[in-house]
Structure 1
Amino acid sequence: MSGKPAFQRILLKLSGEALMGQLNFGISPDVTSFLAHEIKGVIESGVQVALVVGGGNIFRGEGLARAGMDRVTGDHMGMLATVINGLALQDAIERVGVPVRVQSALRINEVCEDYIRRKAVRHLEKGRVVIFSAGTGNPFFTTDSAAALRAIEINADLMLKATKVDGIYTADPKKHADARRYEELTYDEALSKRLGVMDQTAMVLCRDHGVRLCVYDMDRPGALQAIIGGDLSIGTRVHT
């Protein structure tokens, strides 16, 4: 990336499933290493980076709730899964020479910090990656909603959602050959069309607080840096 980055502070949302790579369960070291190098390139350009990661590669509370488990218990177990993923990403990113802090919405002081907004912002200002784990700390809220909330709280210039496709489509492009990719959308359009970008709570939060969103293909090398550099041809942009 050449020139001044288009954004100073970003929040990147990763699904837990994305960390599996070609595995059926767990965390792929190849995926975490790839993500670490992508994030390092962005940090070196002077951009502040925060992350929110899901836990679906390890545990999904909603699924077990449908099978009979208490939903609150299941969601708390899912939050703990995101802490595991956060620690794995911390290790991978620090291996490439970038300092990282994991902050948890649940108190687990032996392995990570408590989430404190002002402390998180200070870490970002010092060039550290901050990984927000354990969702919002409350059951019934997805990690998409947690990402939207944290993006608002830290005043991120851009929220990115890393997916397995290169943007938002009219239908699933893997199932429908005629699916068309949107270059940009408003949140109201995404909500009314039920495009499944994020859950409705997350989208309404982003819409009401003016958070800019870009949905892009996380497997494309250099995509993250290109977006930060202002390349509008990558992914789908969503705005108010």
Structure 2
Amino acid sequence: MSVDIHFNASALGSIQEVSLVLFKSWSEKKTLPMKLTKQGWKVSLSLPAGEYKYAFIVNGGIRLNDPEANAYAPDDDEKIWSVLLINAKGQRLHSNQSYRVHLHDYSLATRFDGPGLPGVHKQINLAIDESIVSRFEFTQVEGLHTVTLAWYTPDARLLQWSDHYLVENETSAPIELMFRCQPKTLMQSPLLGIWSLKMFIDGAFVLEDDFKVVDEEVYSRRDFLGCGAD
């Protein structure tokens, strides 16, 4: 069967290349280049019947699922993939079932020492803060989802990305996910200025936020009182 798979993600900024990772079994994994068209990135495939897993790799880095996929499923390493189903008649199978997920709350801070969301800190001081931590709470979760977070430096370069899976639970309590970035560990000289983070659910862009990174010495009241002392 001939299948067209499309990718569109303007929220990622400048995109030089997109690859499709596709496999029926892991030993048959293929990485295929996608072509840029007027409608976005596209690849045409001729596939026999079966169940396939796939994902997109953007600019050789961040990995995203397909928000238009029929379903999502884990591999043996519990990594979540988009699913493509083709029946014995060569027909692509689609489901009308949709699975909800609601972003209930979001916070950004340098640490989380206890319960509760501390709010969004718009300035991070590398002189005293080693980590930047974002925390999300989700409610009304149905089915299985992938939450991906990407961190960008002031020059719009992707510094780090990571993902976590999100699965419905049997209670109504919010589900919490946390993502951590340590600029000094990842960069010899972290760039100062306005950074940004972008969050995707199942490959769909959901949230973007900006924050300022500075590197300023902090002086205590004792330091000033000690000045000029004999």
Q: TM-score, normalised by structure 2?
A: 0.26
With a CA cutoff of 8 Å and minimum separation of 6, indicate the structure with the bigger relative contact order.
Answer: 1
Higher helix proportion? 1
Higher strand proportion? 2
**Structure of greater Rg:** 2
